[in-house]
Amino acid sequence: MENLIIKPKDQEELNFFLELAKRLGAKAAAFESDDDERLFQLMEKNSKTQKVSRNKVLNTLHQIINE
């Protein structure tokens, strides 16, 4: 599904849009910047992937550093 980003002019308008989304049953969240939104989306996507061990992560990082 596509996303919609609204940049309100002040806190009152932000609260209005968040409340409207809630009443309509839509998922809504507030972010400080577009970078935060992109990071959140990546984190949300990755939270649904298979878990890996700490050692595997460290070994992969070590391989990347040594390339």
List the domain boundaries for the chain: 11-65
| Mean pLDDT of the region 26-44 | 79
- pTM surpassing 0.85? no
CB 30 within 8 A of CB 18: yes
**Is 70 exceeded by the pLDDT of residue 58?**
yes
Provide the pLDDT for residue 16.
95
Report in angstroms the alpha-carbon separations of 63 from 23, 46, 67: 49, 21, 6
